Amino acid sequence: MLAIDKRALRVVWTVYLFVLFVYVIYQIRETLLVFAGAIFFAYMLSPIVGLIERFLPKRRALALAIVYILFVGSLVGIGFALLPRLATEATSLATRLPGLVTGGKVATLPLPGWLEPMRDKLMTALRTEASNLQNSVVPFIQEASSQILSGVGALVPLILVPILAFFFLKDARAMRAALVDSFPSDHQRMTLDKMLSQMHIMLQSYIRALVILAVASFAAWAIFLSLLGEPYELLLAGLAGVLEFIPVVGPIAALAIMLVVCGVAGSGGFLWIILFWGIYRVFQDYVLNPYLMSSGVELHPLLVLFGVLAGEKVGGIAGMFFSVPVLAILKVAYVQLRESATRERLTAVV
């Protein structure tokens, strides 16, 4: 009979289970993104719930109801107040883009001598790309607007997020206690409890910082672009705030979009925009961000960039956003498991 190496079988079985786990995670990635969004939303509301709960001790459900009525209602009101204007500005920009790109400032833009003979071909290519953008963006905005008004389609996950967040906020303590108690030994329970505590502190600090940074970026750019007299200032400021949620790539993409739009449709002001962007990034990255995220994510920039690019392949824009906290959670888990294994070895030696 052939000899079977049990150690090799264990290795193969472990690799098989790992590959199966990764495959299952990839297949249910859309569901996981909805739950991740619910956790993010729950962390946003958690400080407000805790504040109201101080005045209503042992009545967390009532505190949650008050927060949802006030906070979520105000968010919906602000959203319906801003979305029509944002949709109008986006539609106007996409509609005017072909004429703006092929005429006016762009048509007379000075080119290097070796490119001047190709001006007509470049203008034709720009006109084609701008028309394609118009044909794709305008129907998308109109479809999104109809979905917002009708409340169907892609809004289903957005409806699920606050519902799931309600249950996370209501039962998070009980779920954590049940998870910790499910482990048999005191050493395992202590390790898991410490791991969950550090993950909680990290996520709380990270999400709080992201929300504040996004709001600050939106306000700063809205004021600055209004002072410059640039068109579509609310749309551009909104894009800057949203892109703040995507590390490294987001702020750079926001600057590129502003330079293109302001160069084509506005008064230009490239130097002032770049100067403001640089000053604001220095203030945000070296003053505001360290203050807000003192206990947050500590990852190497290359690892963050890898996570953002890999997350885009797995889950699109949402994957880019959630990639950084996922990497931070994995890092916390790895550090805690390594420390637990070290303590266990030392205890066995003693």
Calpha distance 285→26 (Å, rounded): 33
* Contact of 87 with 245, CB cutoff 8 Å: no
What are 343's two structure tokens?
A: 């303590």
Give the pLDDT confidence score for residue 147 in this predicted structure: 44
Q: What are the backbone dihedrals phi and psi of residue 267, each rounded to the nearest 5 degrees, phi first?
A: -95, 10
> CA dist 296 to 43, 209, 262, 285, 328, Å?
14, 9, 35, 14, 9
Burial of 209 (0-12, 13-18, 19+ CB in 10 A): buried
Give the pLDDT confidence score for residue 151 in this predicted structure: 43
Domain boundaries of the chain, sorted by first residue: 29-170, 183-343
Q: pLDDT tens-digit profile of 173-189?
A: 888 888 888 888 887 88
Q: Taking 50 as the threshold, does the pLDDT of residue 152 lie above it?
A: no
CA angle 264, 270, 273 (to 5 degrees): 115
The predicted model scores a pTM of: 0.69
Give the pLDDT confidence score for residue 141 in this predicted structure: 46
Give the pLDDT confidence score for residue 107 in this predicted structure: 57
Give the residue, 39 or 60, on which the prediction is more confident. 39
Give the pLDDT confidence score for residue 173 in this predicted structure: 84
Q: Taking 70 as the threshold, does the pLDDT of residue 101 lie above it?
A: no
* Contact of 209 with 220, CB cutoff 8 Å: no
**Mean local confidence (pLDDT), 226-254:** 84
* Contact of 311 with 320, CB cutoff 8 Å: yes
Give the pLDDT confidence score for residue 149 in this predicted structure: 43
Q: pLDDT tens-digit profile of 324-346?
A: 888 888 888 888 888 877 877 77
Give the pLDDT confidence score for residue 293 in this predicted structure: 63
Calpha distance 305→116 (Å, rounded): 37
Residue 67 binned pLDDT confidence (cut-offs 50, 70, 90)? confident
**Mean local confidence (pLDDT), 293-304:** 66
Give the pLDDT confidence score for residue 139 in this predicted structure: 52
Q: pLDDT tens-digit profile of 111-137?
A: 556 666 666 666 666 666 555 555 544
**Mean local confidence (pLDDT), 296-302:** 67
**Mean local confidence (pLDDT), 46-69:** 82
Give the pLDDT confidence score for residue 220 in this predicted structure: 92
Mean of the per-residue pLDDT values for the chain?
A: 76
> CA dist 313 to 278, 320, 325, Å?
29, 8, 16
Strand, coil or helix: what is 220?
helix
Instruction: Pick the range with the lowest mean pLDDT from 22-36, 98-112, 267-281.
Output: 98-112
| DSSP secondary structure letters along 32-87 | HHHHHHHHHHHHHHHHHHHHHHHHSTT-HHHHHHHHIIIIIHHHHHHHHHHHHHHH
